[in-house]
Structures are given as structure tokens and as C-alpha cells.
Amino acid sequence: MGIFSKPEIIILKESNSSEEHLAKLEELLPRATGKVKENIQKEIILTKAGIDGEKKVLYELKNSNMDLVVLQDICIRAKDGREAQIDFVIATSKLMILLECKNLVGNIEIDSKGNFIRTIQYGKRYWKEGIYSPITQNERHMEVLKECKSEEWNAVMGAMVRMSFSSFHKSLVVLANEKTYLNDRYAKKEVKEQVIRADQLIATIRRMNAESKLPKSTKKEMLGFGEKMLERDTGERKDYAARYEELIDLVEAEELEVTEKEEAAVDAKTVVAESVAREQKVMTQIEEEPAMMNPTILEEVQMEIPATTGKIMCPVCGGELVLRTARRGANTGKQFYGCSSFPRCRYILNIAENLEKSDTSHSKK
């Protein structure tokens, strides 16, 4: 890199997983319904605000007129499983600054206990709520980075890294919304020094760098610190949109199941109705048509009755003939035998004709 003739800002990594998160949320939104849709819409608003906030911070850093090495959106993981997703890592000539960016809506108050209270105005009414401390969040990031750096050495050197870590590494929380009013009147000094507005960022970095008693690093060393940090980046990001996708998939599966059940119920009713209609139509035709039987077949059927089980068997298909009564047509009220395999077999035996023929044959004899 060599010696710079003028202050230079090197952006080793300029990318934001929030933009990927936003794209996925916008992709899921058309599929969502009800409460899930409302939550996704809120998440989209918050994500856009976060992206805008980080763009403002990056703009300030690029125009700082300082020697800086900047990395955006770095994710690190210690061997014990702890993770940290850091908005910005900034290497100055003396310090490594972990920066947490918050683009919060409303005014922020920090009390003497370090609690963060947000006040939001709705028309003429004001609503207060407590929010998770970004200082605590960044402190966790610092602890994970400390562990990652100490793991790279043996036990003795690792202990020394832990002891000197706080001298070289500092935490900053930047409120990127220019409309936000910060009231830290009752906050402790160390808290006041860590929470600033975006327009105070460069002045704060200059002050912190000037107050540090550490020796000044060369620009080559600064770049080395940044490159080492980039090596620690796992490249893995939590998929915060996955929970919405799972909910949408679950809702769609339930809706599909209900639809299939409703369609099955409709289909079943249709099949039953059509079957009943067909049977009634065929039965009406049979009952209204006169039975035209072959006398020879009638005699054979009648001769089988006493010789077997008393059942009349269908000479066409071998099924059992059952006694029925015509309800319509010219044969209304007359009984006849119809095949039990109806409508596959339409063989019928007209009792009245059979008896008449039987009586006539006997009288002739």
C-alpha cells in the first residue's frame, strides 16, 4: 500500500446482507396473508430504515478525510458457538472501532441506569417504550471478537490478548436518523461517549484516536488489521426471513388441505347424485317396459325352484333374481323378478305373464 500522500479511506468490504433480506421479504409479501403479511410489511419498513442508516454512516466515513480501513457487515463466530454480526469495523491509526448503526424512529432517552426509552408521537399523543440497549448488543460483539482473537494464540498469548483487548478495541453506537433527538442528560459518562448521532461520527473518531495512548500504526499495518478481520468473516448470515417463509408455507398447506377436502366433498356429492339419478332413470325404464320373455326360459327357471334352494337364478348371468313391484307405467302394481346384478344385467321375469301362460297351457291339456 505504501505511504499515502493524503488521507485515504479504504473500503475492504462494502456489502449489506440487509439488502438480501429485504429482497426476500418483498418476494414473500405477495404470498402472505393476515397477520403474517402485516408483520412482513413492518419488517420491510424496519429493514429499509436500517439500510438507509448504514448508507448514511458509510457516506460519513467515505468523506472523513482520515486514514481509515472500513469493513461493512462482518459476521464472526467463536469456537464456543457464539456469533456476532457487526455493522461496521473501522481501523484507525490507533484503534479498531466496532460500530453499531441504529436508524430509530422517535426520540431516544438514556436514563442513569443505561436504559433506552424511545418516545414516538402519534398526532397529539406520545407513546413511550423501552428498547433493547444497542450498547449491550455491541458489547456482546466485542466479547465474541475478543474470544476469536485469543483463540488464534496459545494459552499465554491468548490471555495477553484478552487483557489488552479493551485498549485497542472501542465500541460506538450511531443513531443515523437525523430527526432523532438524543437525551442523555442523566446517562453515565461512559454511555454518553458511546452513543452519538451520525453527524458527530467523524469528530468522535478523531477525538477517540487523539486520546488514545497507543502508538500510531502505519497504513500498511492498518490494512493488515482490516485484512485479518476480513479473514474472520464467516460469510454466513442468519436468514431472518425464513420464519416468515415457514409460516406462509404452513398456511398454504392448510389452505390446500381444506380446499382438497371441500373439492372431495363436492365430488362425492356429485357422484352420489349422478349415481342415484342414473339408477332412478334405468329403474323407471324397466318398470314402464313390458316384460318380453322367452317361454322356454320361463319354464326352465320355474323348474329350478324346487330342485335347488328355492332361489330363482338369472339364466343370463347366474345372479339371483329378486322380487320387485313396478311403480310406474302400464305395469304399475305388477310384480316381476329382476336380476340382482342390475344395472349390469337387465334380465327380468314378468310373474303375471308367466302365470297366465302357465294357466293357459294347463287348461288346454
pLDDT tens-digit map of 14-55: 877 888 888 888 988 888 888 888 888 888 888 898 899 999
Give percent above pLDDT 90 in the chain.
47
pLDDT tier at 280 (50, 70, 90 boundaries)?
A: low
Residue 168, number of CB atoms within 10 A of its CB: 15
pLDDT of residue 263: 67
Mean pLDDT is lowest, of 197-211, 240-254, 291-305, for 291-305
Overall average pLDDT of the 299-310 stretch: 41
Residue 95 grid coordinates: 484503534
Instruction: For residues 111 and 183, give the distance between their C-alpha atoms in angstroms, rounded to a whole number.
Output: 9
Instruction: Say if CB 134 and CB 116 are below 8 A apart.
Output: yes
Q: For every residue of 283-312, which 3-state class applies, written as one string?
A: HHHHHHCCCCCCHHHHHHHHHHHHHCCCCC
pLDDT of residue 301: 37
Q: pLDDT higher for 169 or 324?
A: 169
Average pLDDT, rounded, for the chain: 81
Q: pLDDT higher for 311 or 271?
A: 311
Q: pLDDT higher for 105 or 357?
A: 105
pLDDT digits (tens, 9 = 90+) for 235-250: 877 777 788 888 878 8
Pairing of strands 116-122, 125-131: antiparallel
pLDDT digits (tens, 9 = 90+) for 148-162: 999 999 999 999 999
pLDDT of residue 57: 95
Q: For every residue of 192-252, which 3-state class applies, written as one string?
A: HHHEEEHHHHHHHHHHHHHHCCCCCCCHHHHHHHHHHHHHHCCCCCCCCCHHHHHHHHHHH
pLDDT tier at 269 (50, 70, 90 boundaries)?
A: low
pLDDT of residue 291: 42
Say whether pLDDT at 298 is over 60. Answer: no
Instruction: For residues 94 and 212, give the distance between their C-alpha atoms in angstroms, rounded to a whole number.
Output: 7
CA 290 to chain centre: 69
pLDDT of residue 361: 43
Q: Does the predicted TM-score (pTM) go above 0.85? A: no
Mean pLDDT is lowest, of 16-30, 210-224, 294-308, for 294-308
Say whether pLDDT at 356 is over 50. Answer: no
Overall average pLDDT of the 206-214 stretch: 94
